[in-house]
Each structure stands twice: as structure tokens, then as C-alpha cells.
């Protein structure tokens, strides 16, 4: 993405010829949008920010209406963030509103059910009239309403604390990591949709309730057609993204799923047919004949295979009709693995405070935050959370900004990247995060910090932690958060996420034989089997360069100029080389630098459990312990190899969520993707950035350091 801004300016010059005209339009559009946007953002001012109490929720949790700490946002700021669409379209809105759970008549969207998957229930407010949970919103695209995710679904947290009086105080953390189980939610959603198709009584109630909404549907046939397609689309997503790694609560392989979604839409029919023809069972036998492949792909478009068509491909692969393969689960996964990559590297949802002040973001520093880098990052995120991708291909005719930026301008066939993704809102949301600050440990609720212990811990932090985790002033407007990268072989934490980002490949579709600039390496050709990071980068450029299909010609281009203008005038993050100890990019390995994880400021770290990038350590105290290895003494303190996730009850001593004593998700650290090893600086087993291995901390020193971490 580093050269995207320069390419945009070149393209705009090509269109308008005069730079003063571009600047004038940009400034005018920015002024009008900023004034109108500011007024709109302040319309919802519910004093509770929509939060409601919960009685006997998941894992027996009960709490009064959650409170908020001072994080730089007003009530209106929080509610705008929760309810601002980014263009996500999970399924038709009316269907979601009326959908019952698979095994009862209770609504799927009921507060109790959403709390079960650890989404945060809300009451109706101005921006959220149907009382959807935090992070769920109505989005209108091409005249139809859809339910979709907002940023807040994954980036709003909550911690609960039960005092000696038995009363539980709930604290909402804006920008904090969610406890959400998205996989469990989507699996249950698929079952509910299928049950509604199969259960006649449930179906009748459903159709009646959808039509009664008097919105997008007026008869039964319309409802059932959309219901069947929604079920197929969710089943497609769940099938493509099946993993042998159980994510549980509080983490998701977001990049693996983004990668798969862009691969699904970029692969061409000939590339898909060839990939299918090479799939073999143990012993070398092909599992699909040429005739079966032809039947499965009959009527499928040549260049772009949209959700409805790919879901039909999946249905045909499993069909036992004459001429169809009738594949079982194992063979279906073999076909999946020939086209997609298993998303087997779940990571914790990162916290968002200071993201606008960071030079590089994502756990492995994948995204440069300079120029329009945030636009590319956020566009990729919406691709992963169900942006509707109405991509099509057509013969090249005249100048196309998206074709120019994606280097398709030398091809006869080009892709039109029309989608529901709201790039304008993505820019606004990114700007909105600039004012968000990390939460301060509330001593009046969670207990006083022992200042003497914290002072001793401060000295230990300076020695053991600060070379990677800089201490910053959360109130400093000019603060910059620098990512300190550490090679995966040196930090020795679970490698799956970093390795997948570099090694995962896929079919490049129409991007084949286009070029892409790789920072520090130069221009490279995208081959038919290409790193997915290349395909995703080109796709996001195409989306950013494609104006909103739901707006008039003038409005859509003014919005694009507004977005580009904000990137120019408000994003002052310089394009710098990453700091740290990592492998250099080379012509043979152009993404080597991604085989690393970043250390960043730990302000607000007390509210972001579980820890390490893959959520494999439950508390800060446990993080300071060594991983137990074969031959280690049985007597001693080690990181837990098994613990429970899902509760929001804060352990104020060890600092993390309650990790035993209830029936949550059992996290086991035995497999790649789940490993809890590495980052053992405090245990004397991991070398510092300069190669020094410091002695292991004593138990008393560990408690001192934990006490200091509460102050950050």
C-alpha cells in the first residue's frame, strides 16, 4: 500500500489535469462533509450509551447497567462508533430480525442468545432503533437492508468486578478487545437458517413476521428465496473457513478469513477447474473426474465467482444427483485446501486506542499506517466481515482508475470492484479513533494500587520490558507508538499467524501477470499462484478506487476526493522503515519481514486479557512465568497449559479474566496455533533485543511488575 497514494494522485492528475482544481474540490468536499458529519455524529446521546443490565447471563454473570471510564469519548462518540456501518452485509436485515433459534421460538437476536456468544446487548437508541448488540447495524445497499458488523463488534470490551459486598460492577471498554465467539455465532446462525427451511411451523411464523415488518418483502416466495440463499451463503463461509483449531472466545483468524474471501472472488473458472482436477485422495486417486468438474461448474461465470455462485458450487460438490460427485466431509476439505487456506491461526482482537498514532499495525506489522495505509487495512477488514462484493469483469474501454491502480490497464479484461464497502465511513471511523485513549485502572472500583510495589515494578519494567514496550503519555496529543519487531525465531511465540501471512497462496484470477510494488524490493509480477497478501493488496486498491454505487455521480466522486484529502491533510504519520530485529525482504522472499511480531505500548494492558498475540496466557502474572518443558521440575510455577475462557470477571490480583471454575471454552496449548511458549523474558529464557538474557524474576519481583502494569 506504500505507493497507493502516489498512484492516486497520478491518476487524479490524469483525469483533471490541473492540481489546483483537485485541491479546491478536495478542500470544499472536506469542509462540507466535516460540518455535516459532526452534527450527525452527535445526534445519539443516551446517557448509558445504550448499555443495559444483565440478569443470569452466560456463565452465571449478572450485572447492573455498565459504566464507562474516561477514554476521551462522549456518550455520542461511543454510540456513533458502535452504530456506524462500514458496508458489511451478513444477511438480509428483515430475515435476521425475525429469525428464531434453531431449537426454540426465541429470537436468534435475543439478548440472552447474543450474550451467550459474548456480544454486548444494547437497548434501542437513536442510531439503533431495534436494540441490536454492540457492533451490529443495519446497512442499506442497492435499495436493500442488510445486517452487518461494525468495528465495535470486535473492538469493544467489558470487564466485570464483584466486590466483597457481592455486587458486580461492569465496565465497558471502548476500543478494547471483544470476548466474542464469532465462529460459534456463525455456526449457530447456519443451524437456525437451516431449521427454518426444514421446520414448517417455524417457517410459517418466520414468513409471517418478516412480511409484517413491511420493509423489503411482500410475499412468501420472496422471503423463502432469500432465506435459502442466506443459508447457502453462511454455509459456504463456514465450510470454506473450517479449521481444526477451535478458536473459542476472544480470538479469530481474521486474516485467514479475509484471505479466503478475496480468493473466492478473484479465482477464475478455468483456475478453479484446474485446481479441482489436481485434488487427490491418499494413494493418488483423483477425487473428481473431468465430467464431474464440468457439471459442478456448469453456468458459473468465467472470471468472477460471486457468493451465490460459489455456494452453488459447494452444494453441487456435495450433491448425490446423477453426474455430481457427492463428496463427503474429508474430500470436501481436500477440495477446499486446493483453493483456499485453512484459517488455523486465531489471534486476540487487538485494542484500538493509539492505533491512529501507530507507525505499523496488526500483530506482525503487516500494515503501514502512513498515507492511505489505514484505508487499505480497513477495506480488507470489511472484505472479511461480509462486505458484499459485486465484482464483475468486462472488456477494457477507456480510462478506469481501479484498473490503473491495480495494473490491469494493460489487460483486455478488467475487474469492476463495485461493492457495499463504505470507504467514506472507514475514513471517518479511523479519524474518530484519534481521540480515543486507553482506560486507567479505576482504583475506586478495582482496588488501590500498591504504589511501593509499583515503583519497584517500574524499575523492573525499564530493565525487562521497555526496549520493546515503550511507556507513553496517553494524554500527549503528539504521541507516536512505534512497533518494535522481533523475529518469530527469537521471540518464540506461536508462529502460525506470521507464517501464514507469508506462505499462504491462492489463484490470482485477473491479477495474473499484473505487477505490484513491494517496499524495499521493487516491482514484482503476480503469478497465477501468488501470495494472498499480493492478491488482497490489489483487491483493496480496486475497491478504494471504485466510487460508491449507491450515490450520484457527483456525490460519489466528491466522497472519494474527501477520503483522499483526509489521508493527505490529517494523516501525518510518516512512511518509515520498521524498527526492530527481523528478517529483511529479498527478491526471493519479498515478505520475510512479516515473520515477526511487534511489541507496542502497554497502556491499558490490564483491560485486554488474555495475553500474547494468540490469547494463550490468561493473566499478566502467568505471562511472567516460564512455559513448562519436558524435564522441568514438577514443583514450581509455570504458565497454565489449560484454562477456561469466556468469563468477563476480572482477577484483580493476577490481572486477567477468571480462568477456572466455570463451564466456558477449554483452551489447551498443545498445538501450533494454540501454543503458549515464547516471550519468556521475565523467566530468563528469552533474549532481549540486544541478545542479553536477563535473570529470571523472583516471585516477589513478578508481583511488583504486575502491580506496575496496572498503572499503565
pLDDT at 19: 52
Q: Give the Å distances, CA to CA, from 430 to 436, 457, 572, 690.
A: 11, 34, 13, 35
Residue 226 has pLDDT above 60, yes or no: yes
For residues 477-497, average pLDDT? 96
Cβ count near 205 (within 10 Å): 15
DSSP output for 277-346: HT-B-TTS-BSS-HHHHHHHTTT--SS---HHHHHHHHHHHH--STTS----HHHHHHHHHHHS------
Other Cβ atoms within 10 Å of 230 Cβ, number: 23
The answer to whether residues 332 and 342 touch, using CB atoms and an 8 Å cutoff, is: no
**Relative orientation angle of helices 532-544 and 254-266, to the nearest 10 degrees:** 70
Q: List, for residues 506-548, the tens digit of each pLDDT value.
A: 999 999 999 999 888 899 999 999 999 999 999 999 999 898 8
Chain centroid to Cα 537, Å, comes to: 16
Inform me whether the pLDDT recorded for 93 exceeds 60: yes
Q: Check residue 562 and give its pLDDT.
A: 76
Neighbours of 508 (CB within 10 A): 25
CA gyration radius, the chain: 25
Rounded to whole angstroms, the maximal C-alpha distance in the chain is 77
Are the beta carbons of 509 and 303 closer than 8 angstroms? yes
User: What's the number of CA atoms in the CB half-sphere (13 Å) around residue 251?
Assistant: 29
- 20 contacts: CB under 8 Å, gap ≥ 6: none
Q: What is the pLDDT of residue 31?
A: 60
**Long-range contacts for 108-117 (Cβ within 8 Å, ≥24 apart)?**
108/188, 108/189, 108/192, 109/133, 109/136, 111/52, 111/54, 112/57, 113/188, 115/54, 115/57, 115/58, 116/58, 117/180, 117/181, 117/182, 117/184, 117/185, 117/188
Name the pLDDT band for 1 (thresholds 50, 70, 90): very low
The C-alpha cell that represents 700 in the structure block: 516477589
Please name every residue paired with 393 in a beta bridge, in sequence order, or none if there are none. Answer: 415
Per residue in 144-197, pLDDT (tens digit) is 999 999 999 999 999 999 998 889 999 999 999 999 999 999 999 999 999 999
Q: What order do you get walking across the sheet with 144-149 strand by strand? A: 91-92, 144-149, 136-141
pLDDT score at 561: 76
The predicted structure's pLDDT at residue 27: 59
The residues spanned by each domain of the chain are 4-40+350-426+504-582, 58-240, 255-339, 450-473+609-709
- Percentage, residues of the chain above pLDDT 70: 94
Q: What confidence category does residue 336 fall into, taking pLDDT thresholds of 50, 70 and 90?
A: very high
pLDDT tens column, 371-410: 888 889 999 999 999 999 999 999 988 888 899 999 998 8
pLDDT tier at 33, thresholds 50, 70, 90: low
Amino acid at each position: 500500500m506504500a505507493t497507493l497514494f502516489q498512484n492516486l494522485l497520478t491518476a487524479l492528475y490524469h483525469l483533471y489535469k490541473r492540481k489546483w482544481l483537485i485541491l479546491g474540490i478536495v478542500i470544499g468536499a472536506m469542509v462540507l462533509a466535516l460540518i455535516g458529519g459532526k452534527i450527525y455524529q452527535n445526534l445519539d446521546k443516551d446517557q448509558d450509551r445504550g448499555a443495559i443490565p444483565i440478569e443470569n447471563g452466560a456463565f452465571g454473570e449478572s450485572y447492573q447497567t455498565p459504566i464507562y471510564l474516561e477514554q476521551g469519548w462522549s456518550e455520542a462518540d461511543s454510540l456513533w462508533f458502535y452504530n456506524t456501518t462500514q458496508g458489511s452485509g451478513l444477511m438480509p436485515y428483515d430475515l435476521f430480525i425475525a429469525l428464531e433459534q434453531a431449537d426454540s421460538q426465541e429470537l436468534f437476536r435475543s439478548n440472552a442468545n447474543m450474550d451467550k456468544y459474548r456480544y454486548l446487548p444494547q437497548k434501542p437508541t437513536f442510531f439503533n432503533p431495534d436494540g441490536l448488540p454492540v457492533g451490529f447495524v443495519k446497512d442499506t445497499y442497492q435499495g436493500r437492508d442488510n445486517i452487518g458488523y461494525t468495528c465495535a463488534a470486535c473492538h469493544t470490551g467489558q470487564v466485570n468486578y464483584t466486590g466483597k459486598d457481592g455486587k458486580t460492577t461492569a465496565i465497558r471498554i471502548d476500543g478494547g478487545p471483544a470476548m466474542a465467539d464469532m465462529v460459534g455465532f456463525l455456526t449457530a446462525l447456519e443451524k437456525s437458517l437451516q431449521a427454518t427451511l426444514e421446520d414448517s411451523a417455524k417457517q410459517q411464523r418466520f414468513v409471517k413476521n418478516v412480511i409484517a415488518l413491511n420493509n423489503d418483502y411482500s410475499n412468501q416466495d420472496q422471503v423463502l428465496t432469500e432465506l435459502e440463499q442466506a443459508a447457502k451463503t453462511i454455509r459456504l463461509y463456514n465450510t470454506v473457513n473450517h479449521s481444526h483449531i477451535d478458536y473459542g472466545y476472544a480470538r479469530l483468524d481474521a486474516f485467514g478469513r479475509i484471505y479466503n474471501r478475496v480468493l473466492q472472488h478473484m479465482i477464475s473458472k478455468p483456475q478453479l477447474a484446474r485446481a479441482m482436477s489436481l485434488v487427490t485422495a491418499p494413494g493418488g486417486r483423483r477425487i473428481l473426474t473431468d465430467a464431474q468438474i464440468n457439471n459442478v461448474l456448469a453456468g458459473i461465470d468465467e472470471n468472477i465467482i460471486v457468493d451465490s455462485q460459489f455456494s452453488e458450487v459447494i452444494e453441487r460438490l456435495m450433491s448425490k444427483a446423477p453426474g455430481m460427485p457427492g463428496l463427503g466431509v474429508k474430500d470436501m476439505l481436500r477440495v477446499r485446501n486446493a483453493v483456499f487456506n485453512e484459517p488455523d491461526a486465531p489471534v486476540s482482537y487487538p485494542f484500538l486506542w493509539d492505533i491512529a498514532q501507530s507507525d505499523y499495525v496488526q500483530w506482525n506489522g503487516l500494515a503501514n499506517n502512513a498515507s492511505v495505509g489505514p484505508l487499505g487495512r480497513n477495506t480488507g477488514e470489511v472484505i472479511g466481515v461480509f462486505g458484499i462484493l459485486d465484482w464483475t469483469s468486462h472488456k477494457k474501454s477507456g480510462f478506469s482508475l481501479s484498473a490503473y491502480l491495480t495494473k490491469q490497464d494493460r489487460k483486455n479484461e478488467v475487474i469492476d470492484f463495485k461493492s457495499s464497502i463504505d470507504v467514506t465511513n472507514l475514513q471517518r471511523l479511523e479519524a474518530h479513533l484519534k481521540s480515543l485513549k486507553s482506560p486507567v485502572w479505576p482504583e475506586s472500583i478495582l482496588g488501590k494500587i500498591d504504589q511501593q510495589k509499583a515503583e519497584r515494578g517500574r524499575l523492573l519494567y525499564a530493565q525487562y520490558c521497555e526496549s520493546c514496550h515503550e511507556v507513553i503519555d496517553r494524554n500527549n496529543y503528539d504521541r507516536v507508538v512505534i512497533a518494535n519487531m522481533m523475529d518469530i525465531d527469537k521471540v518464540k511465540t506461536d508462529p502460525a499467524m506470521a507464517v501464514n501471512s507469508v506462505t499462504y497462496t491462492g489463484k490470482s484470477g485477473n491479477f495474473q501477470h499484473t505487477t505490484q510494488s513491494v517496499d524495499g524490493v521493487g516491482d514484482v509480477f503476480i503469478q497465477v499462484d501468488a501470495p494472498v497478501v499480493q492478491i488482497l493488496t490489489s483487491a483493496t486498491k480496486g475497491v478504494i478506487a471504485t466510487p460508491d454505487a449507491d450515490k450520484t455521480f457527483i456525490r460519489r466522486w466528491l466522497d472519494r476526493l474527501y477520503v483522499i484529502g483526509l489521508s493527505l491533510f490529517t494523516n501525518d504519520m510518516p512512511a518509515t522503515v520498521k524498527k526492530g530485529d527481523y528478517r529483511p525482504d529479498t527478491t526471493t522472499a519479498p515478505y520475510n519481514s512479516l515473520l515477526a511480531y511487534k511489541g507496542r505500548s502497554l497502556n491499558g494492558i490490564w483491560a485486554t486479557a488474555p495475553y500474547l498475540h494468540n490469547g494463550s496466557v490468561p493473566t499478566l502474572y502467568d505471562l511472567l512465568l516460564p512455559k513448562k518443558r519436558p524435564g522441568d521440575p514438577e514443583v514450581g510455577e509455570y504458565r497454565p497449559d489449560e484454562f477456561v475462557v469466556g468469563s468477563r470477571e476480572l482477577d484483580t490480583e493476577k490481572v486477567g479474566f477468571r480462568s477456572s471454575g466455570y463451564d466456558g471454552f477449554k483452551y489447551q496449548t498443545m498445538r501450533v496455533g494454540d501454543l503458549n511458549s515464547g516471550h519468556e523474558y521475565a523467566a530468563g529464557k528469552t533474549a532481549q533485543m540486544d541478545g542479553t538474557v536477563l535473570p529470571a524474576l523472583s516471585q516477589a519481583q513478578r508481583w511488583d511488575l504486575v502491580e506496575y502494569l496496572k498503572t499503565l
